[in-house]
Amino acid sequence: MLQVDAWHALASESGGACGTSDQGVSYGACPRGITPALILSFVIGLPALVVALVLALRRGWARRGLLAIAVAAGLLGGQPLWAAWHGTDLSTAWAAPYDTASDLSTVGVWTTGDSLVRIRVDEVASYAAATGRQQWALQVPGTDVACSASATPATGATASIGLVAYGTDASTCDHVMAVDLGTGRQLWSAQVSDPYSGNNATGMLAVAGPAAVILTADGIAGVDASTGKPKWTLAPSRDCEFQQLAGSGSEASAAGVVALAACDSGYYVASISPATGKQSWQARVSEPSASYQFQVLAVDPVVVSDDIPGPRGTSVARVFSTDGRQAVTFSTAGILVAGGSTALSTASNQGFGVPVVVTGGLLIGVTSQTSSGRCAIVAYDLASGQRRWLVDTPDPVHDLALDGNQVSLIDESDPALSLEEVSLASGTLRSLGYFPAANLESGDSGLYAVGGDYLVVNLNGVNPTPPVAAIMTPSMRKG
């Protein structure tokens, strides 16, 4: 069993060769545990094989019975020994068909119920998380391409609705359409008279319950999410420009829409009623430099990241109360990990994948990589700004998936990737197992937990990397 498992891991994870040859050629990392497994199998296995042949050729049922027991013990004992050295092997439960061209890239991802919806530049497609069955596909009108999508869909009693912005090219988002995520039907489409000129994969569209909000050159436009009927408009304050939107999505949430507006000497955060367009509150933030960068991390409560790059730059998270006060502000830089000092990474990758989640009074995020390629998962208490826990990861990690009482992540270990979970309460890390690296496009992917399944979505789904892949965990096998 050790021979079978070791050679299989070498073939599937390292392409049949690993380490460095005597000519100095490097083949990459070897599978975990392969060295002790092969050494033990040869040292014990070869003498045991000779004994087994002798017992098999001799007469007597006692000897043959002893041989049968020994073989069964070897088979049963080899698997847990290999699992202890190598770790659990995870297989691919299903994979979506490969894209036919590399420019058919992912624009955004939604999850709703037990389905995952991938927004590609030319279509929106829904997959059943458990089986991979494509439930529906909706083409982007004409020869236009999708260039932006709402970060989350609107979830209500009647339907889940997502917004897609599209145009003649990736920088011309002058049309918006609403998609019923249950049926794949286009509910409405409309031209944006004064489209926002920024090229944002997310932050241009948002939904909150029955309302959809659209970023324009003049401000923000609110429309009915089901019909597209205009409801209100909101202009920014003088000498400011709205640059980012975020919505609560859920109709049951008390939070509405949050907008960030850049101004001459800083920016302001506005909480907006999706029904009327009225601002519940507005909070201004002064900045010492015009090079600041901001990002809405959460809507309920409102959490905003605020970064000033450079050798004397800063990185902070600002938590706002329900009346617009800056309740807590804490640094997200200077995080010491095994590879040096780093900071929290807050920007989503290519418009999908989530580096930060806010839940249960905690902000949990992935740090940027150090020069040695190491990262960390870190949790902050939103009430105090104090760090709750930190977990070092020896390899790159790019995003997280919230899954009940833990966050899940992919440690990009070599030669196989590790699917791992971190407890929200304690920061305890455990590996669920390893799966082939071909399932993930390093640096350009997102992990999603949908209905008990773990799905990887890649920016480009060209062979050998699928656009969507489900990783089979031990709990899925039991189910």
Q: Is residue 430 part of a domain?
A: no
Contact 285, 324 (CB under 8 A): no
- Spatial neighbors of 418 by CB under 8 A, at least 6 apart, are 87, 395, 410, 411, 431, 432, 433, 434
Contact 180, 170 (CB under 8 A): no
Place of tokens 């599978």: 31
Mapping DSSP to helix (H, G, I), strand (E, B) and coil, where does residue 438 land?
A: helix
Q: Is residue 244 part of a domain?
A: no
Mapping DSSP to helix (H, G, I), strand (E, B) and coil, where does residue 41 land?
A: helix
Q: Is residue 179 part of a domain?
A: no
Percent above pLDDT 70 for the chain: 91
Q: Is residue 475 part of a domain?
A: no
Give the residues of the chain that fall short of pLDDT 50: 252, 477-479
* Structural domains in the chain (count): 1
pTM of the entire predicted model: 0.86
pLDDT in tens, 367-378: 998 888 889 999
Contact 294, 286 (CB under 8 A): no
pLDDT in tens, 321-354: 999 999 999 999 999 888 788 999 987 767 788 8
- Distance from C-alpha of 302 to C-alpha of 280, rounded to nearest angstrom: 13
pLDDT in tens, 55-65: 777 766 677 67
Q: Is residue 360 part of a domain?
A: no
Nearest to 398 by CA among 374, 366, 362: 366
- For the sheet with 91-95, list strands across it: 91-95, 468-472, 453-458, 445-450
Q: Is residue 59 part of a domain?
A: yes
* Tokens representing residue 23 in the block: 């000519």
- Distance from C-alpha of 179 to C-alpha of 122, rounded to nearest angstrom: 14
Q: Is residue 72 part of a domain?
A: yes
Backbone phi, then psi, for 82, in 5-degree steps? -65, -40
Domain that holds residue 58: 2-87
Question: What was the pLDDT predicted at 65?
Answer: 77
Nearest to 214 by CA among 227, 226, 232, 199: 232
Q: Is residue 211 part of a domain?
A: no
